[in-house]
Amino acid sequence: MNNRMRALALGLLGASAMAVPAFAVDLDITCRCVIGGVNSATAQWLEEKVIPAFEAANPDINVTLNQFGGEDAQLTQQLALDFSTGAGPDISAFDGFLIPAFAAGGQLKSLDELIGEEYANWEGWDHISDGIRSIMSYDGQTYGIGLGTDVRMIFLRKDLMEKAGLPADWQPASWADVLDAARKLKEAGVEAPLQLNAGVAMGEATTMQGYWMALLGTGEGVTDENGKFIVESQGILDVLNLYKTVYVDEGLGDQRAQLLADGRNRSFANFRDGKTAMLVEGDWFYRSVTAPGAEFAVEDRDNVMSWAKMPAQEPGAAIRDQDFVSISGGTGFVINPNTDTPMEAWKLLSFMMSQEQMTAFQEFQPGIRSRSDVAIPDNPFLTETSQTLLPLTTARPNDPNYNAVSQEIQRMTEAVVSGELSPEEAMAQYKAAVIGVVGEENTVSLL
């Protein structure tokens, strides 16, 4: 560039810098939330509480909420592409299990790198336990702030259980008990008694709410104690055979819901409409999906719905020799590494996660919050489940390859529930695929 060109460029830069008034900072925030749709409470909380209060306190910052109505996997796809090309919202909702893959791929910057001292001095960290903080962390670095955590269980429809002659306080002790109950429900005329998520369309819900919940009951995990991915084992076969029994051999679940593109909503509708009596899901299902006013609201929820602990395959056979299992994850918010205004974005993020705003969120959707100074609302369901299940729970591996392996798990289960492959064939395909993703040296066979 010659001098004249340089002067021109500088001049243009200067002019455009002057043209934008110094006080106008625009922040975008995205979540998979739509008022009146999915995660409506989150959208309402942001739109009605957080943004007005934040804008009042910071008149120089305008905040816009982008309501994303697609699937989880579609938002992941969008964020991966946005964050790698310098586009995207300043702040986004984010599922904790994706942090390692994004961080290792350079699509996220740690808060330390992005914000520095101000992040480290945030008052909130004193009220967030290390366990909760680790949900949004990888390799010793923190990448976002979590909203809270969750636990998983079997949701029950008491009215259908009664119809099938099952006790009001039904609690299975083994997979056999679950299957027996499903058979009784089927005999009593319940269309699709049991829902254990499978398939590609449900995305991470398949891995987390279906496969994991069964696999933990066999005493195994997706990785072994050295962090190697298990690609062949009796546990995997037992889980796949359980799927086969439920969806292929005995028709105890709605096979179509596992295969159709909108299967997850279909499975929610089945529960709402009394076609499914037992559904393995996270407490989000109670807090958000079936809550009054939601699309899949269960009428008279607190009398109709109850829950049971997910049993081990046989008593004592689960990981850590437990009789029952659960797995926890967590979601939160991250800052776009390419944001022009990281300090303002941090201001908003930490404001959202302040005690005042977190407490306000409880009014929209009560839950187990990340901050210890935000009380768990006086809700028997949340108190009981968190007290019972948090001591039993586990977490997914904090591994940058986990997301890719999880997709292979979804494919493996789909191959079985569609009846296209036998459990052995599906596991062989899974083995080949996972070796392709992580390399043979990071896998292990237990057969």
Partner 1 sequence: MTTEPLSTPPKRKARNFALLSNRAGAAFMLPAGLLVSVFVIIPFFWVIFVSFTNRTLIGPTALNPQFVGLGNYLALFDPATFFQRGQFGFSLILTTQFVLASALIGQALLGLLLAWLIQTVPAWVKRITETFVIAAWILPEVVIGFAWFAFLDYDNGTFNMLLESIGLPPGDFLLQQPFWVIVVFNTWRGAAFSMMLFNSAFSSIPPSYFQAADVAGASSWQKFRDIGLPLIRGHIVTDLILITMWTFNTFTPFLLTNGGPSYRTELVSIYNYRVAFQDFQFGKGAAVGVIMMLINLAFALVYLRLGRKKVPKS
Contact residues toward partner 1 (CB under 8 A) are 73, 77, 80-81, 84, 98, 101-102, 104-107, 200-201, 256, 259-261, 400-401, 403-404, 407, 411, 414-415, 418, 420-421, 429, 432, 436
Closest approach, Cβ 82 to partner 1, in A, equals: 11
Closest approach, Cβ 224 to partner 1, in A, equals: 20
For partner 1, the closer CB: 254 or 281: 254
Q: Could you tell me the CA-to-CA distances from 187 to 127, 181, 190, 254 in Å, in that order?
A: 51, 10, 7, 15
Closest approach, Cβ 192 to partner 1, in A, equals: 14
Q: How far apart are CA 284 and CA 404, in angstroms?
A: 24
What's the DSSP call for residue 404?
Answer: H
Q: How far apart are CA 437 and CA 428, in angstroms?
A: 14
CA dihedral 272, 173, 281, 242 (to 10 degrees): -90
Burial of 19 (0-12, 13-18, 19+ CB in 10 A): exposed
Closest approach, Cβ 364 to partner 1, in A, equals: 31
Closest approach, Cβ 381 to partner 1, in A, equals: 31
For partner 1, the closer CB: 118 or 424: 424
CA dihedral 94, 100, 102, 105 (to 10 degrees): 180
For partner 1, the closer CB: 10 or 261: 261
Closest approach, Cβ 139 to partner 1, in A, equals: 11
For partner 1, the closer CB: 74 or 303: 74
Beta bridge partners of 13: none
Strands 25-31 and 91-95: parallel
Determine how many CB atoms are found less than 10 A away from the CB of residue 113: 13
Residue 142's H or E segment, with its range, is strand 141-142
Q: Which amino acid is at 125?
A: W
For partner 1, the closer CB: 89 or 100: 100
Strands 324-328 and 91-95: unpaired
Closest CA to 334 of 326, 342, 323, 322: 342
Closest approach, Cβ 271 to partner 1, in A, equals: 16
Contacts of 434 (CB under 8 A, 6+ apart): 229, 231, 405, 408, 443
Closest approach, Cβ 363 to partner 1, in A, equals: 35
Q: How far apart are CA 290 and CA 261, in angstroms?
A: 21
Closest approach, Cβ 107 to partner 1, in A, equals: 6
Q: Could you tell me the CA-to-CA distances from 211 to 202, 215, 345, 400 in Å, in that order?
A: 12, 6, 37, 19
For partner 1, the closer CB: 113 or 302: 113
Closest approach, Cβ 73 to partner 1, in A, equals: 7
For partner 1, the closer CB: 36 or 106: 106
For partner 1, the closer CB: 7 or 261: 261
For partner 1, the closer CB: 55 or 425: 425
For partner 1, the closer CB: 55 or 112: 112
